[in-house]
Amino acid sequence: MRSVEWDAGALKMIDQRALPWRLEFVHLETVAQVAEGIRNMTVRGAPAIGATAAFGMAIAARECAEDDMAALLVCLEQQGELLKAARPTAVNLAWGVERLLDVAHSGECKTVDELRETMLLAAQQIADDDVAINRRMGGRGAALVNKGATILHHCNTGALATVDYGTALGVIRAAHEDGKQPHVLLDETRPRLQGSRLSAWELEALGVSYAIIPDTAAGYYMREGEVDIILVGADRVAANGDIANKIGTYQLAVLAAAHDIPFYCVAPTSTIDLALPDGDAIPIEQRDPVEVTTPYGAAIVPAHFKARNPAFDITPHRYVTGIVTEQGIARPPYTDSLARAVAGYEL
């Protein structure tokens, strides 16, 4: 099933906050609801957020009541800013909004009704393309996985983080479908536990061998020789190959280098931001400390205890063995290979 899809005039998505205990769906009908769904992590994962933003703009085109084309375009710009403000780090959010604004400003639609319908079709195309791109990345990345390999994975990068299939977990899925029988060590990925809650739920459904490990145990398993390759996703990739990904990724990359373990990022070209020269320019979302002190409503320390909660960290490109895209595997120097991938060249 798709994590995000258009259904009966509304945006239907899996409520990822309820997993793994309950599979629940929500229907969002307004731009404000879509923005809040992104902000509160009903939907998460860079590609899924990008598709959600595109559908949000299609909703905006219907929600804006203007009958005049110029006035409608102004309204769409305003609604786009509301969506882009929902979360700062994942570049796919702004990418999805801008893709739909490009459709709106193309001048190809002569009436507001035609524009509204065209924007919905464009959002649907982005969702369909995401699935196809993920399958291409899965096939390309699966070639990196040896039969019987143990893969260390951080956060959740599967069908839940995309429209369907997945990025890094999509590579694992493709390797599994190829009969390579991988085993996956899943970091819990604190504080929201996307690894133990979401990735384990997905691998369980796929029949892939896995074990959840504490985030702090990753180095132990590397030193024991139990990790063959590390696969992670990304919320933004800078032009030089620095990656922003879920907090905890940086320390995995450093440990991987210390143990001579290949470290790969799996991300579509829509996640590559060539406008940013390096990771220092990527904004890092600071989330509510209550996610640390009271995860999912269960207090683990007194309410007055202080906490900090960065949602992402930056992994310098020198620790990244390669970046798997739908165009192939980008390798150093990333300023060249990523630019070629974004331009549509095969790597």
pLDDT in tens, 146-193: 999 999 999 999 999 999 999 999 999 999 999 999 999 999 999 999
**pLDDT number for residue 266:** 98
**pLDDT number for residue 263:** 98
**pLDDT number for residue 315:** 98
Q: Which pLDDT band, with edges at 50, 70 and 90, does 90 fall under?
A: confident
Active site (annotated) includes residue 235 = yes
Active-site annotation holder among 130, 187, 215, 235: 235
Q: What is the pLDDT of residues 246-290, one digit of tens each?
A: 999 999 999 999 999 999 999 999 999 999 999 999 999 999 999
- Is the pLDDT reported for residue 89 higher than 90? no
Cβ(10)–Cβ(27) under 8 Å? Answer: yes
Q: What is the pLDDT of residues 194-241, one digit of tens each?
A: 999 999 999 999 999 999 999 999 999 999 999 999 999 999 999 999
Measure the CA–CA gap between 118 and 54, rounded to whole angstroms: 12
Measure the CA–CA gap between 4 and 344, rounded to whole angstroms: 26
Q: Which pLDDT band, with edges at 50, 70 and 90, does 122 fall under?
A: very high
Q: What is the pLDDT of residues 5-48, one digit of tens each?
A: 999 899 999 999 999 999 999 999 999 999 999 999 999 999 99
Measure the CA–CA gap between 38 and 275, rounded to whole angstroms: 23
**pLDDT number for residue 184:** 98
Three-point CA angle 317, 136, 34, nearest 5°: 80
Q: Which pLDDT band, with edges at 50, 70 and 90, does 1 fall under?
A: confident
- 300 Cβ contact partners less than 8 Å away, ≥ 6 residues apart: 293, 294
- Phi first, then psi: give them for residue 325, nearest 5 degrees: -120, 175
Peptide bond into 191 cis (omega under 30): yes
Q: Which pLDDT band, with edges at 50, 70 and 90, does 144 fall under?
A: very high
- 263 Cβ contact partners less than 8 Å away, ≥ 6 residues apart: 229, 230, 232, 252, 253, 256, 257, 319, 320, 321
Cβ(47)–Cβ(3) under 8 Å? Answer: no
Q: How many CA atoms lie within 13 A of 263 on its CB side?
A: 24
**pLDDT number for residue 88:** 87
Q: Which pLDDT band, with edges at 50, 70 and 90, does 324 fall under?
A: very high
- What is the percent of the chain with per-residue pLDDT over 70, rounded to a whole number? 100
Average pLDDT, the chain: 97
Nearest residue to 261 (alpha-carbon basis) of 235, 222, 298? 222
- Provide mean pLDDT across the span 140-150: 98
Strand partners, 180: none
